[in-house]
Chain A
Amino acid sequence: MSLLSLEHVSVAYDNRLILEDFNLSLQKGQLLSLLGPSGCGKTTTLRLIAGFLNAEAGNFMFSGKDYTKVPVEKRNFGFVFQSYALFPHLSVFDNVAFGLRLRKLKEAEVKKRVNRMLETVSLGGFEKRLPGALSGGQRQRVAIARALVIEPDLLLFDEPLSNLDANLRVNMRVEIRRIQQELGITTVYVSHDQEECFSISDQVAVMNNGKIEQLDHPANIFKYPASEFVARFIGFGNFIAFDGRNDEGADIELSRGELKFQAAKRPGGEGNTGLLGAIRPDDLQLLGAGADMGTGTEGNALTGKVQVSTYLGRSYQYQVETELGVFTVNQEMEQPFIQGQQVTVYFPKEKLVLVQ
């Protein structure tokens, strides 16, 4: 049974529906990310779970109880804000102790727990500092400690790393995942950064326009996006609209006019529905015109001409014009293709996925 579920929830701002008939559930101990472009409703979903917002319709169930009308302060959920939202007038120690003191713990116990938590987030020795005298990364850790020390039943993060610089972001997300797993705390994590979401999550929900487009393990989403939106969002830059498919053989047979393509079936069989083929620039292969591609590769190829070639550092990126439009290919090589050169674009069938 799931620990948390949103059931047919609707949320509106000024009579404009942001979430409509929204459903989401999460197992105990898991970290779920809400991933999507800015404005798609991630924060709204998170604030609804936290209790800062009321639903127009639907229910929020938690731990088998109806939490729809439970006020924020009674929920015992930890919230980590994008702006950290530390209490500016309180020291690091008092910030972290805030929730414990409200729970009427003895001061000795408060001290013990706060100190232990500050050790966990590597902030021992910073107890007396005011938030204003901390770096961004340190503030973020105080915010996490403050949310964790109350032993919340659920931990909520709203883009907690977006104000940090790139290196620190990577370190902090590893840290967040470590602490989350160590304490086994159920977590909902919001971000618009796919790498961040994929690296720390048990489940990722890709959102678009107030709807969840796909909810799955990160690796499955990465390999098998379910919709064109998800595919585009996670970097499938190339699309072919097919006009026929046949699922009877070992592979899916696809056609576009006279052209034939094959796509491997997904292990387990599900997914790969639809007629739109998608493939990442990294997965396309570029060959010199007339090169021998070996047996079993008939079809799945288009001839074309290199339009633009740019150097990306580890690889070259080519825009190749074909009869089905322009494709983007990233490829490492010693002797790069040059502009105007005739080439063959090859679509490995294991990498070609079909989306709605």
Chain B
Amino acid sequence: MLSLYTLLVFIFLLGPLVIISITSFEPGTVLKFPPEGFSLKWYKNIFEVSAFMETFRTSIVISLLGNLLALLLGVPAAYALSRYRFHGRDTLNAVFLSPVLIPGIVLGFTLLRYLIVVYNLPIVAGLLIGHTVIMLPFIIRVIASSLENFDFAVEEAAQSLGATRVYTFFKVVLPNIRSGILAAILIAFLESFNNVDISVFMTGPGISTLPIQMLTYVQNYFDPTIAAISVILMVLTAALMFIIERLMGFAYFTKR
């Protein structure tokens, strides 16, 4: 009985993904299920619509640059939050994690209101800042959780052997949280690359990210191109999740 229930939930969750995957091979110009044949035509179309390729490139660049910025801010922050007991530590913890708690729409609108409207930042800069902000909490959380397993006496051991604090950080601390950092990068990348709610406010004439471009596309066309892109993104996401799972353990996805 229970297993039947589980099966239903499973179908409910995975069903749409399966249907999308199947319909992406539709040879006709209208998305339908079941498809009337098998064709890779719409996959080819992705590469022929220049807007997809451009926004894909923008998405990649923004995600990678934002990732770098978030790492530069997040690694020291995670380190300080794990290493030291200080006044306001809990408050800071809450502040760093707040973007996870605040609805993306609110954050996106706020960023638009201030970065773009008040400070007149170029769209790319606004987009980059927005994405850095959404990646930061993930970076901090994943790295802090991998620092939790790090015995800081090891750091002191290095210093007693003659290492400076900086040398110790790079040669002892970083190598021990390498997999955590890699996982943080991948998780943050997924978070940023798939983001809609912030990007939708921060894109403008001539500059857009792939998910926003997809939204725009479905408003105008109903061919299976979007299904084809979705399949590609799903495969990519699954591959990254697999790597993250290898690095951090499955538990990461189940705790929030």
Tell which of B151, B158, B164, B167 touches A83, judged by Cβ atoms closer than 8 Å: B151
**Interface residues of B, dominant DSSP:** helix
User: Judging by beta carbons under 8 Å apart, are B158 and A87 in contact?
Assistant: yes
> Is A81 in contact with B157, judged by CB distance below 8 angstroms?
yes
Q: Cα distance A122–B162 when bound, in Å?
A: 25
Rounded to whole angstroms, the CA-CA distance of A132 and B242 in the bound complex is 25
Indicate if the CB atoms of B172 and A85 lie closer than 8 Å: no
Residue pair B176, A89 in contact (C-beta under 8 Å): yes
Interface mask (B115-138 → A, CB under 8 Å = 1, otherwise 0): 000000000000000000000000
**B162 adjacent to A103 (CB under 8 Å):** yes
Chain A residues near B154 (CB, 8 Å)? Answer: 85-88
Kindly state whether residue A311 has any CB partner on chain B within 8 Å: no
Nearest to B155 among chain A residues (CB) is A85
Say yes or no: A81-B172 contact (C-beta < 8 A), given A99-B161, A99-B162: no
Given contacts A85-B151, A85-B154, A88-B154, contact A50 B160 (CB under 8 A): yes
- CB contacts (< 8 Å) of A147 on chain B: these are 160-161
What is the total number of residues of chain B having a CB less than 8 Å from a CB of chain A?
16
Name the one of A79, A99, A150 contacting B156, with C-beta atoms under 8 angstroms.
A79
Point out the residues of chain B lying under 8 angstroms from A89, CB to CB. Answer: 175-176
A102 with B161: in contact, given A83-B151, A86-B154 (CB under 8 Å)?
A: yes
**Chain B nearest CB, measured from A320 CB (Å):** 48
Q: Would B172 and A87 count as touching, CB distance under 8 A?
A: yes
B1 at interface by CB-CB < 8 Å: no
- CB < 8 Å neighbour of B162 from A50, A76, A82: A76
* Chain B residue nearest to A150 in the complex (CB): B161
Query: Is A73 at the interface (CB under 8 A from chain B)?
Result: yes
Per the 8 Å Cβ criterion, residues 44-83 of A in contact with B are: 50-52, 72-79, 81-83
Q: Give bound CA distance, A38 to B148, whole Å.
A: 25
The answer to the question of A198 belonging to the interface, with a C-beta cut-off of 8 Å to chain B, is no
Name the A residues within 8 Å of B151 (CB-CB): 83, 85
Answer whether residue B163 sits at the interface, using C-beta atoms and an 8 A cutoff: yes
The answer to whether the Cβ of A305 comes within 8 Å of any Cβ in the partner chain is: no
Contact mask for chain A residues 284-308; partner B; CB cutoff 8 A; 1 contact, 0 none: 0000000000000000000000000
Q: List 29 A-B contacts (CB under 8 A).
A: A52-B156, A72-B156, A73-B159, A73-B160, A73-B162, A73-B163, A73-B164, A78-B161, A79-B157, A79-B160, A81-B153, A82-B153, A83-B151, A83-B153, A85-B156, A85-B157, A86-B154, A86-B157, A87-B157, A88-B154, A89-B175, A89-B176, A98-B161, A98-B163, A99-B161, A99-B162, A147-B160, A150-B161, A150-B162
Other A-B contacts than A79-B156, A88-B154, 19 sampled, CB-CB below 8 A, are: A50-B156, A72-B156, A72-B160, A73-B159, A73-B160, A73-B162, A73-B163, A75-B160, A76-B162, A78-B160, A78-B161, A79-B157, A79-B160, A83-B153, A85-B153, A85-B157, A87-B154, A87-B157, A150-B162
Query: Which 3 residue pairs are nearest across A and B when measured between Cβ atoms?
Result: A99-B161, A85-B153, A79-B160
